[in-house]
Structure 1
Amino acid sequence: MKVLLVDAFPMVRAALTGLVEQHFAGAQVQGVDTTAAARAALAQGVPRLVLLDLRVDGGFELLQQIHREHLMLPVVVISGSDETEDALQAIGAGAMGYVPERSDLNMLVQALQLVLAGGTYVPQLKPRAEEAPTAASAAPALPDWAELPLTPRQKHVLHLLTQGLSNKLIARELGVSVDTVKDHVAAVLKALGVNSRTQAVVIATQKTR
């Protein structure tokens, strides 16, 4: 498995390379420190996965380009931010995973496993300012998403999306066809006013905090 790692810091590249090679048998990590070098590497051959630090100069534009030119190539963003808006921006540009640098190593490995399996990964992020809990509402609540305009079945589908399951695995879990799952997912996206399943996962994640 070929992995392209784009990060400006040599120590970070070394640490991430060692982590990937340790947990993914046969992984070959190519580390680069600029977007120009990343584009040159992509021109030589499309990897199985891209790890991208958006703080690299031109990193966001590179993410958008990968999404345009290599739609099926999963990109996991490694970010210094755990703000919801930053995650939504990265996901909207095509990222399939968003991992704040504060995350522990196990979380990063889990994120890569989910993305490589065709799922998406978004951790718990800081709630938006207008969604900050008050003292009266700070107690944890079950993820029933009562305030979301979804049917019980759509909420079940959304819950499975937050687990990183692909359409095929959701179909198996629900005992329905993949086409039926696609219809449910499309309905969830429409109801939430988002364009991708990953954006739906971000919204669901915030509603469970």
Structure 2
Amino acid sequence: MGTAMNVLLIDDHPLILSAMKNIVGGLEGVQTVQGVETAYEARELLRCKAELDLVLLDLQLGDADGFDLLVEMRRDYPELPVVVVSASDRVSDVIRVLDAGAAGFVPKRASNEILFEALHLVMSGGVYVPPMPLGSADDPLDHPLSLVSYSARLRSVALPASINSREPASSTEAATSQGWAFETLGLTPRQKDVMRLLLQGATNKIIATELAISVETVKDHVATILRVLGVKTRTQAVLVIKQWQDRGLT
């Protein structure tokens, strides 16, 4: 992360807020950490043109819905990255906040090391997506675009036996499966490049510049990737690819 970074924490639980201030304040490059317990206080700080580089937002606030506040901040301060740190680890909540423009989602049960990793990734321009099991039985499935709906898509392509059985693969099998998922999708090398940049949270314009192609060409590639993955948004595509990465398939 860069130097002299100013962070705003929004959490209505005083003990958690205090603990988070200590944790985040210990990160290299963090200059100040401000903590507020209400959406009202957060709005006032932002209206006063507070010099902020990052916001960590809890979804459960006493005076506002955290999802609504996230949407509001992304609309009014689009350059300010917001990472949701929530007691929820529901797949539907992860999808919802990332679709709303959050730069990451960190469950409160995550370790300090995971939080550090997430914040470093976000401040480097990436998007942090927590590891999540496909088709988790713990997810209430009240979101029409839950990852459970993607699991059938993944199962429609035959996985290597060691992965289907969830047994550790040998070094030879691991080497053979490396890159398997992307190859099976039948994407072109350029589409694979676009997909990897999507994982970094890059916009179409940034992808176009990075790959020296037009924005319209990027849009065409993204549309193809979404169609191949059987999803409707970039966020959903990132989540599916993330699952493959966690399982050693990319």
Q: TM-score range by the shorter chain?
A: 0.7 to 0.9
Structure 2 CA distance for partners of 1:8 and 1:169, relative to 1, 3 Å: same
Q: Which of residues 219, 225, 228 in structure 2 aligns to 1:191?
A: 225
Question: Normalized against structure 2, the TM-score is what?
Answer: 0.68
The residue that corresponds to 1:52 in the other structure is 57
1:39: Cα distance to partner?
A: 1.0
Alignment of structure 1 residues 73-152 onto 2, 5 Å? 73-128=80-135, 129-130=148-149, 131=151, 137-139=164-166, 142=178, 144-146=180-182, 148=185, 150-152=187-189
* Secondary structure, counterpart of 1:121 in structure 2: coil
Residue 17 in structure 1 maps to residue 21 in structure 2: yes
RMSD of aligned Cα (Å): 3.2
Describe the shift of the 1:100–1:27 C-alpha distance in structure 2 as closer, same or farther (beyond 3 A).
same
Partner of 1:205: 242
Distance of aligned partners of 1:189 and 1:113 in 2 relative to their CA distance in 1, 3 Å threshold? farther
Pair 1:199–1:152, CA change in 2 (3 A) = same
CA contact (8 A) 2:208 2:218 kept: no
SS at match of 1:27: strand
Q: Distance in 2 between matches of 1:112 and 1:149?
A: 33
Bigger relative contact order (CA 8 A; separation at least 6): 1
Unaligned 5+ segments in structure 1 are: none
Distance 1:157 1:54, change over 3 A: same
Report the Cα distance in structure 1 between the residues aligned to 2:113 and 2:54, rounded to whole angstroms.
18
CA distance in 2, matches of 1:69, 1:190: 32
**Whole-Å separation in 2 of the counterparts to 1:195 and 1:5:** 29
**2:94 maps to amino acid:** A
Residue matched to 1:6: 10
C-alpha change, 1:143 and 1:63, in structure 2 (3 Å) is farther
Cα distance, 1:145 vs. partner? 2.7
Rg larger for: 2
Q: Match of 2:145?
A: none
Which residue does the alignment assign to 1:32?
36
Question: Which stretch has the larger CA shift, 124-133 or 12-21?
Answer: 124-133
Determine the C-alpha separation between the residues in 2 that align with 1:106 and 1:127. Answer: 24
- Aligned to 2:195, which of 124, 144, 158? 158
How many residue pairs end up in the alignment?
Answer: 204
TM-score, normalised to structure 1, is 0.80
Q: Distance in 1 between matches of 2:26 and 2:217?
A: 39
Query: Greater CA deviation, 27-36 or 150-159?
Result: 150-159
The gaps in structure 2 that reach 5 residues or longer are: 136-147, 156-160, 170-176
- In 2, the alpha carbon distance for the partners of 1:119 and 1:169 equals 12
Amino acid paired to 1:145: A
The superposition leaves residues 97-150 of structure 1 with CA deviations (integer Å, 9 ceiling, x where unpaired) of 11112221111111111111211111211313452898x724376453356463
